[in-house]
Amino acid sequence: MIKTKLCDLIGIEYPIFQGGMAWTATGELAAAVSEAGGLGIIGAGQAPADWLRQEIHKIKKVTDKPYGVNVMLMSPFVEDVMQVIVEERVPVITTGAGNPGKYIPMLKEVGTKIIPVVASVALARRLEKAGVDALIAEGMESGGHIGEISTLPLVPQVVDAVSIPVIAAGGIYDGRGMVAALALGAEGVQMGTRFMCAEECTISPKVKEMILKAKDRDTVVTGRSTGHPVRCLGNKLTREFEQLEKEGTDPEVLEKMGAGKLRLAMVEGDTQNGSVMSGQIAGAVQKIEPAAGIIQDVMQGAERELARLSQRFGR
């Protein structure tokens, strides 16, 4: 069995994080992933604190295993969300869109592990100095808001720059991705897109169908002109967005145009006018299956791949 420092740090069986995707990673999905031995993560996004507390309670009814919450630090509810995390003694938080430094003392006081998502070496170094417990190095292959460096060059550079555990994210789907991440020096992986097609994921079936039909070149990146690029599956919204960007539309107008579009897709099922955030690996997702099945497939695939490599190159 593949065990890493990450398993010991968090108290999980398998070094697999489920991405904390807003309006996608609810208590139902996170509970299933945690119960199956990975780390299920609720995506707080821009949801209010009361919603988050409700989702946390869903997990606690299903499992007593570790779970996490992803906090979007630009959320208007971030202060209240952090208070709920402290009150509920959430075991792990992952963070994005900012620096969690000001919250570290209060989180450490209740034993919460802090694991920010980073897209550069500079930010990784800064956050290690701030006292975080580990880092998620996320390449631009991932869905949603992205950086400019892909997973393959990003992960080893972050690993070499810090002394805390690094989790690889972006473009990881199966056991081969797990082995590749370990070879780059990561202590585990985070996967988002494949878990969108878990049976326990509560997003609209229309979104799942769109992912299952996706091909390798079906994602696009919009929003570069706003300074906040986003990877989604191409649709009517992305085509309109791309056209407006070519015309030099004011970034503030574009930001307003994107507001609420993720929920429109994931919750309401509008896959043409909503934002279907998805990673480039969508083309590899072939079926809807239980979260536990996804985890077992990744781990068993990794074991097979290690055995194959050993047989091929072993001495």
Quote helix, strand, coil % in the chain, to nearest 5: 45, 15, 35
| CATH architecture type of domain 5-202+287-313 | Alpha-Beta Barrel (3.20)
pTM, two decimals, is 0.94
Those residues with Cβ within 8 angstroms of residue 7's Cβ, 6 or more apart along the chain or in another chain: 13, 14, 15, 188
Q: Give mean pLDDT, residues 311-315.
A: 79
Q: Which residue do the tokens 């904390």 mark?
A: 20
Distance of CA 202 to the CA centre of its chain: 16
**Residues 1-48: pLDDT tens digits?**
899 999 999 999 999 999 999 999 999 999 999 999 999 999 998 899
pLDDT higher than threshold 90 for residue 259: no
Contact predicate 221/229, CB 8 Å: yes
- Identify the pLDDT of residue 315: 62
Cα separations in angstroms, 71 against 124, 144, 184, 198, 220? 17, 14, 27, 22, 25
Q: Which residue has the higher pLDDT, 37 or 96?
A: 37
**Residues 36-91: pLDDT tens digits?**
999 999 999 889 999 999 999 999 999 999 999 999 998 899 999 999 999 999 99
**Residues 107-143: pLDDT tens digits?**
999 999 999 999 999 999 999 999 999 999 999 999 9
- Identify the pLDDT of residue 226: 85
Residue-range domain boundaries for the chain: 5-202+287-313, 215-267
**Residues 261-291: pLDDT tens digits?**
999 999 999 999 999 999 999 999 999 999 9
Per-residue pLDDT band at 195 (split at 50, 70, 90): very high
Q: Which residue do the tokens 């959320």 mark?
A: 75
**Residues 137-160: pLDDT tens digits?**
999 999 999 999 999 999 999 999
